[in-house]
């Protein structure tokens, strides 16, 4: 497995997306929890929703599925096949519970913070339009993390309001790997 693919998989385990439209009604309707944090729309954790990403590196492709769970108004988690990542909504951003920020206010080009991979993350663009298999989105925010534990690695992540992470591009060692949101919503119950 190439270094870029390893970095992509590691990053996906740390930064999966959330949010979006539901195609089936929830099995037990609950009012959605909200922290009221200004950046929550860019990283919504809607209880029970599944997020399916297609991954690509060269001719290789794969997938990642994450399930969101909301513990309370300010805490949530994403369950992946190999573990669970916990998140907290703070007045100035969204962070790993007890760890690095994923997004930090203000949402302005140039805002920067210590990133999850040990490098510097900065907001590279706002009002981004992007198309992925799940659809086309506007008013998105793109962050870039460079430096850190993997010298020469670059993590470019696009977050869209009401959806969450829709695109992750990891470049390292002359290789590029991508994760694109393919679908998201409540699971369909087939009986």
pLDDT in tens, 66-116: 999 998 999 999 998 889 999 999 999 999 998 899 999 999 999 999 999
Q: Of all residues in the chain, what percent carry a pLDDT higher than 70?
A: 83
Q: Global pTM?
A: 0.82
The H or E element that residue 131 is part of is strand 120-132
- Whether 68 is in a domain gets the answer yes
- Whether 135 is in a domain gets the answer yes
Report pLDDT for 29.
52
- Whether 47 is in a domain gets the answer yes
CB 3 within 8 A of CB 42: no
CA dihedral angle for residue 71, residue 75, residue 79, residue 80, rounded to 10 degrees: 180
- Whether 62 is in a domain gets the answer yes
- Whether 184 is in a domain gets the answer no
- Structural domain including 10 reads 3-20+40-179
- Whether 27 is in a domain gets the answer no
Q: How many domains does the chain contain in total?
A: 1
Report pLDDT for 5.
46
Q: Give the residues of the chain that fall short of pLDDT 50.
A: 3-27
| Tokens at 58, concatenated | 């060269």
Report pLDDT for 135.
97
């Amino acid at each position: 497995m190439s270094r870029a693919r390893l970095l992509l998989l590691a990053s996906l385990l740390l930064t999966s997306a959330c949010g979006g439209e539901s195609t089936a009604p929830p099995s037990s309707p609950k009012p959605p929890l909200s922290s009221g944090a200004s950046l929550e729309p860019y990283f919504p954790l809607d209880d029970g929703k599944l997020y399916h990403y297609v991954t690509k590196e060269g001719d290789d492709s794969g997938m990642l599925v994450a399930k969101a769970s909301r513990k309370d108004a300010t805490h949530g988690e994403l369950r992946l096949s190999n573990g669970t990542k916990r998140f907290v909504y703070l007045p100035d951003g969204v962070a790993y519970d007890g760890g690095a920020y994923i997004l930090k206010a203000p949402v302005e080009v140039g805002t920067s913070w210590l990133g999850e991979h040990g490098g510097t993350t900065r907001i590279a663009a706002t009002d981004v339009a992007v198309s992925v298999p799940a659809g086309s989105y506007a008013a998105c925010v793109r962050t870039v993390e460079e430096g850190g534990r993997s010298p020469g690695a670059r993590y470019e992540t696009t977050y869209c309001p009401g959806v969450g992470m829709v695109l992750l591009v990891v470049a390292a060692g002359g290789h590029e790997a991508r994760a694109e949101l393919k679908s998201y919503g409540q699971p369909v119950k087939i009986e």
